[in-house]
Amino acid sequence: MKKSEYLYLDHAATTPMREIAIKAFIDAEHEGFANSSGGHNLSRKAKNILEQSRETIAAIFNVAPNEIIFTSGGTEADNWSIKSLFNKNIDADSNLVTTNIEHEAVLASAQWIKDNDYNVTFSACLESGELDKSSFLNAINKNTIIASAMRANNETGIIQPIKELSNDVQKKNPSTLFHSDVVQAVVSDKIDFHKEGIQSAAISAHKIGGPKGVGAMFLSSEIKLPSMFHGGKQELERRAGTVNVAGIASFASALQEQQNNFDDEIMIMNKEKEEFEKIVKDNFKAKVIGESEKRLPHISNIQFEKVNSEVLMVDLDLNGLGVSRGSACASGAQKPSHVLKAMGVSKDFINNHLRFSFGWSTDLGDGKKAAKILLDSLEKIT
């Protein structure tokens, strides 16, 4: 199978870099290779590229430039927000509230807090795939330091009621920091952090066509968090380490390009996804997860009746369609998703799912092509 014939529907995992972002990386490395913290002319060029990139990104999320701190990606931002306040200066009964459908970066960070003997609530999720607001709010009390809920789920695409939730959390405890992992939501939704009551957020560049290893933390200007890394005084003393100027320039360029083409890109993703889902449902006993919910337009999680999706995924790959199954564990085996488990999908069905995710480079006709490969495989292995 030639690579060019390969149909890639795993954009939620990562997506190709946009040409303009690759060019921005190279240009920034040529003009702004110097250390942006240095005191000479070349450093000022790097610093200039850095700050322009910050302004571009800040404007897109309708926030102030100093509310954007660059990181190595979404995982770092999640770890930072969730873990850094739980240090030796806080009360022993301080607690954290999050959901049981979060991305591993949040779940594992929260587990780390729990392992350090703080009270952590992993609040439940409804069968619909939406977080259970009342169970989340019930867990908020006067000692809740952080509440964390994702803006949209990365495995089902289901959009979470963050604006209402953050508002209600604020009413219950105005001093609770509201964090949101928006990594997947940014791919196909517009977000205004302040309007949605989000005070800190994790953003990743590579999901929208930027480079891997680059991301940003949005941190509302009224919030101070202890640094995670110790070292130089970069990023206003908030994040140590020589700044990845070229990566950030590339990130800003990718994000700007996405915003410029937003409606067209979303229209194609949505059209192809809907076409794909329709053909699959018309020809096979299959259920689309969260079909009647508010979903991100690029994610389709499908349950195939009586089909083990482990073998199906292998067969699809061998026939030129790349998709994903759940989260990959250390061995590379793909485990059934914790999100589906949280939604109450029973043991008999949890191994029957695959996630198909569309992206900015999806072409018209891809949905139909993917459905054909899928139906051929299903016929073969069942």
Q: How far is the CB of 1 from other proteins (least distance, A)?
A: 9
Q: How far is the CB of 204 from other proteins (least distance, A)?
A: 24
Chain residues 292-351 in contact with other proteins, contact rule CB under 8 A: 310-311, 314-315, 317-318, 329-335
Phi, psi of 81 (to 5 degrees): -65, -45
- Per rule CB under 8 A, is residue 376 in the interface with other proteins? no
Question: Given the complex with other proteins, which of 314 and 375 has the nearer CB atom?
Answer: 314
DSSP, residue by residue, 64-88:
-GGGEEEES-HHHHHHHHHHTT-ST
Question: Given the complex with other proteins, which of 225 and 373 has the nearer CB atom?
Answer: 373
CB burial of 126-155 (b: ≥16 within 10 Å; e: otherwise) equals beebbbbbebbbebbeebbbbbbbbbbbbb
With beta carbons less than 8 A apart as the criterion, state whether 34 and 45 touch.
Answer: yes
Q: How far is the CB of 327 from other proteins (least distance, A)?
A: 10
As beta bridge partners, residue 144 has 95
Among the listed residues 260, 197, 238, the one whose alpha carbon sits nearest the alpha carbon of residue 63: 197
With beta carbons less than 8 A apart as the criterion, state whether 154 and 12 touch.
Answer: yes
Catalytic residue among 92, 236, 329, 330: 329
Question: Given the complex with other proteins, which of 311 and 373 has the nearer CB atom?
Answer: 311
Among the listed residues 9, 12, 7, 8, the one whose alpha carbon sits nearest the alpha carbon of residue 339: 12
Q: Is 329 a catalytic residue?
A: yes
With beta carbons less than 8 A apart as the criterion, state whether 195 and 47 touch.
Answer: no
Q: How far is the CB of 228 from other proteins (least distance, A)?
A: 24
What are the counts of helices (DSSP H) followed by strands (DSSP E) for the chain? 13, 14
Q: How far is the CB of 48 from other proteins (least distance, A)?
A: 41
- Count, residues near other proteins per rule CB under 8 A: 15
- Per rule CB under 8 A, is residue 29 in the interface with other proteins? no
- Per rule CB under 8 A, is residue 104 in the interface with other proteins? no
- Per rule CB under 8 A, is residue 174 in the interface with other proteins? no
Question: Given the complex with other proteins, which of 267 and 381 has the nearer CB atom?
Answer: 381
The set of catalytic residues is 329
Q: Which residues bind other proteins (CB under 8 A)?
A: 310-311, 314-315, 317-318, 329-335, 380-381
